[in-house]
Amino acid sequence: MAIDTSKRNRTSYKGVHRSKNTEKSRKTIKTRIKNNKRGNTMTKILITGHAGFIGTHLTQKLLEMGHEVVGLDKKPIKKPDIADKIKEIKGDVRSEGDIKKAVEGCQAIFHLAAQSSVPKSTREIKKDFSTNTKGTINILKTAIKNDLEVINASTSTVYGKPEKTPTPETEQLKPISPYGASKASAEMYCNALHNTHNVNVKTLRLYNVYGPHNKKGVMWDFFNKLDRNPEKLEILGTGKQEKDYIYIDDAIDAFTTIWEKGKPGEQYNVGTQKTLTVNQIADITTQIMDITPEYKYTGGKSWKGDVETTQADTTKLRKLSWKPKTTPEEGIKKTYHWYKKQK
């Protein structure tokens, strides 16, 4: 059925109104896309979740590119050298009022704020949905009202246990955890509002991102365990879990590449198209630390909702002239050197 875009029917989503001049809105979006490709014009950008692991690195990168950054998070960023250069607003993406306050004067939103723990999502299902799905809807509504472009950070967990590896973006979404379900739902709203309201939204499906400032995940776990006892390393599961790990600098390059060159309404896998087993990560880590501990396995799956095998098909992203540059050995070494400085 055709959509009636006449004046009396412009409210097709509760609380959201289409621009009075749709053609003008589209021209504005096209102009911003063109301007963002030029690379020499400052853009004022809102980053939700700027104080997190990926958000911290993205904030630093956008500042280096000459852009103005506003951060919206429930906590302040932990790097004073960055905090002095941005405007931070304490708030929550579940609050439309907080978003409205933060987005004033911005031209783009990098939406990273999320509840990103799979185990936590199984315990706090309602909160997970509220933050990840409703929070994204709030961002999209704000984008519609203000003609803003949105770069949406999603996750490979939306695929669940994919039938095909490497997994292309066309793979059916079958999440097996509440976290994956809430992020898949958020993606559906991105798709829907791109089609009904012409929202310029591009989505990144991030695989396992690691690097400095990430105080969770297998590498952080190994560093801590081996620091306490260099003679033994307890490994969750069998050690054969095989995933696509991407270093933070390469992931951040993907954010800026997709922002500048990506197609609105599309999704892009962000990984290396290669895999590492947990055992391989343990081997690289112990070599860097120059120790030879005994590996002790807990057996079974690591946690409910965990996907043991992931591998991105990054063909679509590579067509935008992007490719990962950091080897696992280089990335883990850089991460360990950062870890030592935290002690």
Give percent above pLDDT 90 in the chain: 83
Alpha carbon of residue 120 to chain centroid: 18
Give this prediction's pTM: 0.88
Residue 24: pLDDT band (50, 70, 90) is: very low
- Phi then psi for 21, rounded to 5 degrees? -125, 95
Q: What is the pLDDT of residue 36?
A: 45
* Token duo for residue 232: 């033994």
Q: Which CATH architecture has domain 18-210+247-270?
A: 3-Layer(aba) Sandwich (3.40)
Q: Is the dihedral of CA 212, 214, 217, 222 positive or negative?
A: positive
Give percent above pLDDT 70 in the chain: 87
Among the listed residues 189, 184, 185, 190, the one whose alpha carbon sits nearest the alpha carbon of residue 202? 190
Bridge partner residues of 209 (DSSP):
246
H helix intervals, 66-215? 80-83, 96-103, 118-123, 125-129, 135-146, 178-197
- The answer to whether residues 82 and 88 touch, using CB atoms and an 8 Å cutoff, is no
3 state DSSP class of 297:
strand
* Token duo for residue 199: 């929202």
Residue 301: pLDDT band (50, 70, 90) is: low
